Structure 1
Amino acid sequence: MCLGRGSRIWCSVIFILQLRSRLLATGASEWTYIGPHGEDHWALSYPECGNHQQSPIDFHTCIYDPALQPIQLLGYNLSATENLSLTNDGHAVKMTLPPTMQMISMSHHYTAVQLHLHWGSETEDLGSEHAISGRHYPSELHIVHYNAEKYNDISIAQDKGDGLAVLGILIEIGSFNPAYEKIFSHLKEIRFKGKEIKMPGFDINDLLPQQLDEYYRYNGSLTTPPCYPSVLWTVFRKPVQISGDQLLELQRDLYISQVDEANRTGMVNNYRHVQKLWERKVFMSFHEDTLNADHKLTLGVILAIALCSVLCVMVALALSCFFLRKRADKTTENRGVIYKPATSKEDVLSQA
């Protein structure tokens, strides 16, 4: 019971703090990506969203670390008899993963929990959360693991500094991807928020790029509230491809609304914008000489053409000098001939 003006103020403060604690504990705060509950306001309800170790980031200043070895994945080839839950949670499409899936990095073991996707819209070129030198991709897949060596489950590990490890896979437009279609083919079954189905397992390796030895590594956070700074991020350098029609399935098939809501809102642009790096360092497992190798191939061709052009010019100059020299020599030879004047009829006839 609060008596007096000072007591009433104090009780109000306690009530607000208790309410905020309950919201944080239950995840009841209705956060969104835009609007009054959008990412610019997340820190009001989730203070961690405002700290200096947030994700995603732009990879533009990185340090080569030869100690970073290829990621090892165990149990990723799931049997078709494995039942996986595919859910529309109102923010993304999410698929649960069995604890038999493991990731080993730097001799540490992590247990898989779930994977989910981020994407843009038909009118939005962006979609991925991470960027490479300012370049975003149309979509991004995250595979979430927790530190099984130290914690019993993700609920305990999620707010610990060394609690989580997430694989980030950048997705670009290209050829049709049958592995991703195993997920996309079920999207209409979970069209509305709260919908969940069971789907058969498949080889999760097929969702990743072939080269698991080239990646960026840094310490960051969850990219959605509560934004705990507990994630060891591994974002692969090489993107995977899906077709334009497959991307449209993501952009068109899902809603953030429940089935009984009159005003249905499409699930689009469900990505967080890049955050400041602050004092953090970003490492890469590949040497800088291999960075942008695709572009370097083109550069090599250009250099070869330029070299050939230079050689052709040099040959042309050499030939020109040779012929000019010959002409000069002939002129000099002609100048050295002395003609004697004809002094007799015989001389005239001999010169005719």
Structure 2
Amino acid sequence: MWRYAKMHISNKQMLLKTCVVVILLSDFSIAKDWCYFGCENSLPHWGKHYPKCNGRKQSPINIDTQKVVKNQELGSVDLINFSLPHTMKMLKNNGHTVECELKEGAVGVRGGGLKHKYTALQFHFHWGGKDLVNHPGSEHSLNGHRSPLEMHIVSRRSDLNDSTAAKVQDGFAVMGFFIESNEKEKQKETSQVWESFTDYLQKIPRKGDKVRIMEPFSMHQLLKGVDLSKYYRYNGSLTTPPCDEAVVWTIFKDPIRISKDLLLRFPTKISFGNVYRPQQPLNNRVVYASTALTAGYTGTTEHILHHPTNQGP
């Protein structure tokens, strides 16, 4: 009897271990690396390993400015410490994009109808091919027009960590900036800053390469020329796996304008291109327009996405 019981327990332990191994292998399969093209888990297969990529509130989208809802509660976005130098820590090539890591807790975002304060974590880029005209790389578009590049500044709710933020629809706030070519003299100062910033690209051509940012850049210098009161707002997702539907998107109308040769540094200095996700269905979501985009409108909207709150810096 004891021998049978011992064997029975042993079999149960073996079954438990087998189940654990199966679960771990399953999790490993789900967490396998992804790519845009050229690998097993490329764009058409994201939904297989990351089911959230099949959701109904996915990003990016096209913004039809004739169908946006006017929202008088969306004022200017408050960018905390964006004018401070030395907030950029490291520029790295992660095999999917070029990502600039920001110093922990150095900069943040609030206001502009956001319900919470957010801590900026990093910013990265999406671009197309070497032919900027026929192969633009922005993920979002305005009335069907896509720009050569798009920059995303990713921030997380200051009261949450990454895992908890991914579970709520406003866990992350991502600001999208279109980047266009402009050779006008008034943009000379902006291009000079971008020239110094993009000089780093030649140091990180391959996946895994990284370089420390030494120049005293400020985030504000990269955004010169953008009216922070003119933007569109909607609820969506991360545009890369796991595609969590946990993002409050702010897409600014005014583009950042830099010289064409600086735009070309992204698809030429980095060993890959066409790093963008195709646009996703809106699926009855509402896209809102900020107050500055609806000047003269005196009514209110039936659906309000977020209410501004007063928070400390």
TM-score normalized by structure 1? 0.70
Q: Is the 8 A contact 2:88 2:100 kept in 1?
A: no
Q: 1:51: which partner in 2?
A: 55
Cα distance 1:14–1:277, how it changes in 2: closer, same or farther (>3 A)? Answer: farther
The structural deviation recorded for 1:156 is 3.6
Q: CA deviation at 1:33?
A: 1.1
Of residues 70, 73, 80, the one that matches 2:76 is 70
- For 1:273 and 1:172, the matched residues in 2 are separated by 19
Which ranges of structure 2 fall in alignment gaps of 5 or more residues? 1-16, 297-313
- Displacement after TM superposition at 1:63 (Å): 0.8
- How many Å separate the matches in 2 of 1:161 and 1:125? 32
- Give yes or no for the alignment of 1:21 onto 2:27: yes
Q: CA deviation at 1:206?
A: 2.1
1:40 and 1:247 map into 2 onto residues whose CA distance is 28
CA displacement at 1:159 relative to structure 2: 3.8
Q: What SS does structure 2 have at the residue aligned with 1:108?
A: coil
> For residues 13 and 136 of structure 1, what CA distance do their matches in structure 2 show?
48
1:30 aligns with one of 3, 18, 33: 33
Q: Which has the higher helix share?
A: 1
Q: Distance in 2 between matches of 1:116 and 1:215?
A: 19
Q: RMSD of the alignment, in Å?
A: 2.4
Structure number with the bigger relative contact order (C-alpha 8 A, sep ≥ 6) is 2
Identity %: 34
The SS at the match of 1:21 is helix
1:144 corresponds to 2:154: yes
Distance 1:182 1:16, change over 3 A: farther
The alpha carbon displacement at 1:288 in A equals 5.2
Cα distance change, pair 12–130 in 1 and its aligned pair in 2 (3 A): farther
Q: Which SS does the other structure have where 2:273 is aligned? A: coil
Matched ranges for 1:201-212 at <5 A = 201-208=216-223, 209-212=225-228
Task: Check if 1:190 corresponds to 2:204.
Answer: yes
User: What is the alpha-carbon distance in structure 2 between the residues aligned to residue 233 and residue 158 of structure 1?
Assistant: 14
Shift of 1:83: 5.9
Distance 2:295 2:123 in 1: 32
Q: Displacement, 1:287?
A: 4.0
Q: Which moved more, 1:87-96 or 1:198-207?
A: 198-207
Corresponding position of 1:238: 254
Contact 2:63–2:142, Cα closer than 8 Å, also in 1: yes
d(CA) in 2 for partners of 1:77, 1:287:
25
Aligned twin of 2:118: 110
Query: 1 CA distance for matches of 2:211 and 2:37?
Result: 28
Matches of 1:20 and 1:167 in 2, distance apart? Answer: 34
- SS of 2:245's partner is coil
Q: TM-score, normalised by structure 2?
A: 0.78
Q: Which moved more, 1:64-73 or 1:101-110?
A: 101-110
Q: Distance in 2 between matches of 1:198 and 1:115?
A: 15
Q: Hey, what does 2:14 align to over in structure 1?
A: none
Alignment map for 1:296-311 (pairs within 5 Å): none
Q: Indicate how the Cα distance of structure 1 residues 23 and 179 shifts in structure 2: closer, same or farther if over 3 A, else same.
A: farther
- Contact map agreement 1:97 1:113 (CA 8 A) in 2: yes
